[in-house]
Amino acid sequence: MSQIKAYSASASKARVLPTEIERRPVGTNDVQIAIEHCGVCHTDIHFVNNDWGMTHYPVVPGHEIVGRVTEVGSAVSNFQVGDRAAIGCLVDSCGLCSNCEKGLEQYCLNGFTATYNSETQDPGGFTYGGYYQSIVAKESFVLKVPDSLNGPGIAPLLCAGITTYSPLKNWKIGPESKVGVIGLGGLGHMGVKFSHALGAHTTMITSSEQKGEDARLLGADEVLLSSSVDALVQEAGSFDFLLNTIPVNHDLTPYLELLKTNGTMCVVGAVEPLSQVNAAQLIFGRRSLSGSLIGGIAETQEMLNFCGEKNILSEVEVIRMDEINDAYTRMQKNQVKYRFVLDLGSLN
Amino acid sequence: MSQIKAYSASASKARVLPTEIERRPVGTNDVQIAIEHCGVCHTDIHFVNNDWGMTHYPVVPGHEIVGRVTEVGSAVSNFQVGDRAAIGCLVDSCGLCSNCEKGLEQYCLNGFTATYNSETQDPGGFTYGGYYQSIVAKESFVLKVPDSLNGPGIAPLLCAGITTYSPLKNWKIGPESKVGVIGLGGLGHMGVKFSHALGAHTTMITSSEQKGEDARLLGADEVLLSSSVDALVQEAGSFDFLLNTIPVNHDLTPYLELLKTNGTMCVVGAVEPLSQVNAAQLIFGRRSLSGSLIGGIAETQEMLNFCGEKNILSEVEVIRMDEINDAYTRMQKNQVKYRFVLDLGSLN
């Protein structure tokens, strides 16, 4: 194991500080990537602050990773030194369970290996993420970046992108669909872009008139102000699918009422107990309340290819590594349009 | 309008008392049925007691109706005098909306006409249900009873039957499915029978060992005691579909954990606000919480035909009309296996 200087979080301050962590050598099936950009996800803040009580310090966050291949193992066939490459939220899974067999590594029944703060499949190892100069990962979990995509807006596709693309595909959203995207942040802005690109009639559902106007620029056909009871009543029973990106608990009632018969609201933001659900809203309309987690490796590659074809990137603000703490503060105040991306060159 | 003596409920006592109510004459497209049996549904108690604040007294409950045709209108082509016939929870709908066009009359966007306590589609009329000697309804909402089915066990198929059959069909339950039926009452016992008849591996999920044993006699392959944390943990992530027939609010957490990736729990019992739902259970497994309401007319006929082929009947206890109040009391104490059925001959 070599020692690499990187930015990670200390338990005492729950903030990003320089420290020394271990890094694995490049194995037979591994790809080493010099990281150029890494997106900053809300999950990173939760891990840095140990909000979920599962952080193993020192933690190196970051699972929206894009860079260039600098070394490949002897059995690697799909990547060469100099290729662009990307890593998302997963770097391994058991590969044997029924979900892994279906390409649903994100639901690996034996527990996937997350890109950071995770034990490796081989006992004794531990993962560190993309707030870093480089990363080593198994080839089968490394993604190709389409030639037509460039710049820091690629990185957030690896988490915010696939988290919104996967449910839209799973629920077969297309030109016949009327989709509502609830909330306009890192996830929501990608949801609007994908829903629009898939040909669906796309409505931004937000409490903020300004965010509504911003969403139109991203591809929303309409804006529904969730603060207006009249507007909600008028749109009741009209949506096939709602992508709910609100990151905290909230009242689901007004949103469930927007669904058509057989409609689904998929929660991707709030990973926590939700307010009471009125079963009558589900029963009288055969509606569903669902959830979805990122995406599998094949689907993530499909999403990147789709972005390449449709020229879809995340809207980002690039920051230096030493600006990360301020960025976290601004994210918690919802003051970013729509994702911070670390320029890892700033570590040199 | 003719006057018919029937049993209905008075507002003052919230109990079944004899009174005089109006009955419509047989119109061109109508079928008149002499009622032989009418199942007693929990919904009847809610209406009699005005639990939902929407009872219009006098109310005549009853929407699990089986009898013989005594008169048909001049335009009726599918029924003749002497035929057996049945009526479920619906006697009309708009017929024009997108749901009615798809045979989903139970989700009629303009509001279906319920078999009792409902305004008719023609203004001024009101419906009275099956605690009665006869009923008149539109031919297109009257169902045929397969020749192979006999006895009072047919009646509950019209509500308890279709309420459990419809979601099993909607979620494509078949021999590859592992189904859990939660709760063993009027709905649950039909759920077990249908799940078994559709070829699914069927587990009764109940807190009662005795009910578990009873469920085996109805076709359950296994019993899962919801009172045993160990048993629940062992079965975590193993069910494709859960049919939740519990009639009141309860903690959904232990049940959602039983679902596989992409699994669905469908609530058909509790038409009320449910305890907090943990979004993490939906997200980490792409699970769905759904609901379902009875079934459309074509599907109800399909269900009756399926019962005819598979010789499926409800398990019932036949009562006289003057035993109805005691029956309600016993139902509220969960003391019936599994449905009371009124012998309307007892009114003569």
In this predicted model, what pLDDT tens digit does every residue of A238-247 receive, in sequence order?
999 999 999 9
What secondary structure, in 3-state letters, does B159-183 show?
CHHHHHHHHHHHCCCCCCCEEEEEC
Q: Region A258-273: what's the mean pLDDT? A: 95
Q: Region A272-282: what's the mean pLDDT? A: 90
DSSP string across B82-121: T-EEEE-SEEE--S-SHHHHTT-GGG-TT--EESSS-B-S
In degrees, to the nearest 5, what angle opens at C-alpha A174 toward C-alphas A171 and A175? 150
Please, which residues 225-254 of chain B have a Cβ atom closer than 8 Å to chain A? Answer: 237
Q: Region A36-65: what's the mean pLDDT? A: 95
Beta-ladder partners of B317: B340
A with B: how many residue pairs have Cβ under 8 Å apart?
110
Contacts of B283 in chain A (CB under 8 A): 267-268, 271, 291-293
| pLDDT tens sequence across A152-170 | 999 999 999 999 999 999 9
Q: Please give the pLDDT value at position A178.
A: 98
Which residue of A267, A271, A279 is in closest CB contact with B274?
A279
Contact at CB, A107 and B288, closer than 8 angstroms: no
| pLDDT reading at A23 higher than 80 | no
Amino acid symbol at B36? E
**Is B160-291 a domain of CATH 3.90.1150.10?**
no
Q: Please give the pLDDT value at position B53.
A: 93
Contact at CB, A285 and B261, closer than 8 angstroms: no
Which residue of A281, A284, A289 is in closest CB contact with B277?
A289
Contacts of A277 in chain B (CB under 8 A): 273-274, 277, 289
Q: Residues of chain A with pLDDT > 70: what percent?
A: 93
Contact at CB, A261 and B99, closer than 8 angstroms: yes
Please state whether the predicted TM-score (pTM) of the whole model is above 0.90.
Answer: yes
The alpha-helical segments, DSSP class H, found in chain A are: 42-48, 98-101, 160-170, 186-197, 209-218, 229-234, 253-256, 279-283, 297-310, 324-332
Segments making up each domain of chain B, as ranges: 2-158+315-347, 160-291
A270 vs B92: which has the higher pLDDT: B92
| pLDDT reading at A19 higher than 50 | no
Report, as ranges of residue numbers, the positions in chain B whose pLDDT lies below 70: 1-22
- E-assigned strands of chain A? 2-10, 15-23, 30-40, 65-72, 84-87, 90-92, 113-114, 134-138, 143-144, 178-182, 201-206, 222-225, 239-244, 259-267, 273-274, 277-278, 288-291, 316-319, 339-343
Peptide bond into A338 cis (omega under 30): yes
Contacts of A182 in chain B (CB under 8 A): none
Beta-carbon contacts of A123 under 8 Å, excluding residues fewer than 6 positions away, are none
Mapped onto helix, strand or coil, the DSSP state of residue B283 is helix
Strands B239-244 and B178-182: parallel
Amino acid symbol at B238? S
Contacts of B109 in chain A (CB under 8 A): 237, 261
Q: Residue A275: which pLDDT band, with cuts at 50, 70 and 90?
A: confident
**B345 vs A: CB within 8 A:** no
Q: Are B162 and B190 in contact (CB under 8 A)?
A: no
Amino acid symbol at A271? V
Q: Are A125 and A285 in contact (CB under 8 A)?
A: no
Q: Residues of chain A with pLDDT > 90: what percent?
A: 86
Q: Residue A20: which pLDDT band, with cuts at 50, 70 and 90?
A: low
- Report the gap between the CA of B292 and the closest CA in chain A (Å): 4
Beta-ladder partners of B334: none
Q: Residues of chain B with pLDDT > 90: what percent?
A: 87
Q: Please give the pLDDT value at position A272.
A: 84
Q: Please give the pLDDT value at position A4.
A: 39
| pLDDT reading at A14 higher than 60 | no
Distance of alpha carbon B336 from alpha carbon B322, whole angstroms: 17
Q: Region A335-343: what's the mean pLDDT? A: 96
Mapped onto helix, strand or coil, the DSSP state of residue B327 is helix
Beta-carbon contacts of A94 under 8 Å, excluding residues fewer than 6 positions away, are A100, A108, A109, A110, A111, A121
| pLDDT tens sequence across A207-229 | 999 999 999 999 999 999 999 99
- Report the gap between the CA of A75 and the closest CA in chain B (Å): 33
Q: Residue A21: which pLDDT band, with cuts at 50, 70 and 90?
A: low
| pLDDT tens sequence across A29-46 | 999 999 999 999 999 999
Q: Residue A22: which pLDDT band, with cuts at 50, 70 and 90?
A: low
Is residue B74 packed enough to be buried (19+ CB in 10 Å), middle (13-18) or exposed (0-12)? exposed
Give the best residue of A94, A97, A289 to mutate against chain B (max B CB count within 10 A).
A289
Contact at CB, B289 and A290, closer than 8 angstroms: yes
Is residue B50 packed enough to be buried (19+ CB in 10 Å), middle (13-18) or exposed (0-12)? middle
B176 vs A274: which has the higher pLDDT: B176
- Report the gap between the CA of A102 and the closest CA in chain B (Å): 11
Q: Are B61 and B124 in contact (CB under 8 A)?
A: no
Give the best residue of B97, B100, B283 to mutate against chain A (max A CB count within 10 A).
B283
Which residue of B279, B287, B290 is in closest CB contact with A272?
B279
Contact at CB, B282 and A267, closer than 8 angstroms: yes
Q: Are B99 and A261 in contact (CB under 8 A)?
A: yes
Q: Please give the pLDDT value at position B74.
A: 97
Beta-carbon contacts of A64 under 8 Å, excluding residues fewer than 6 positions away, are A37, A38, A39, A40, A41, A88, A130, A155, A156, A157, A158, A159, A160, A339, A341
A62 vs A348: which has the higher pLDDT: A62
Task: Indicate the fold that domain B2-158+315-347 takes in CATH.
Answer: Quinone Oxidoreductase; Chain A, domain 1 (3.90.180)
**A279 vs B: CB within 8 A:** yes
Q: Are A152 and A105 in contact (CB under 8 A)?
A: no
Contact at CB, A282 and B288, closer than 8 angstroms: no
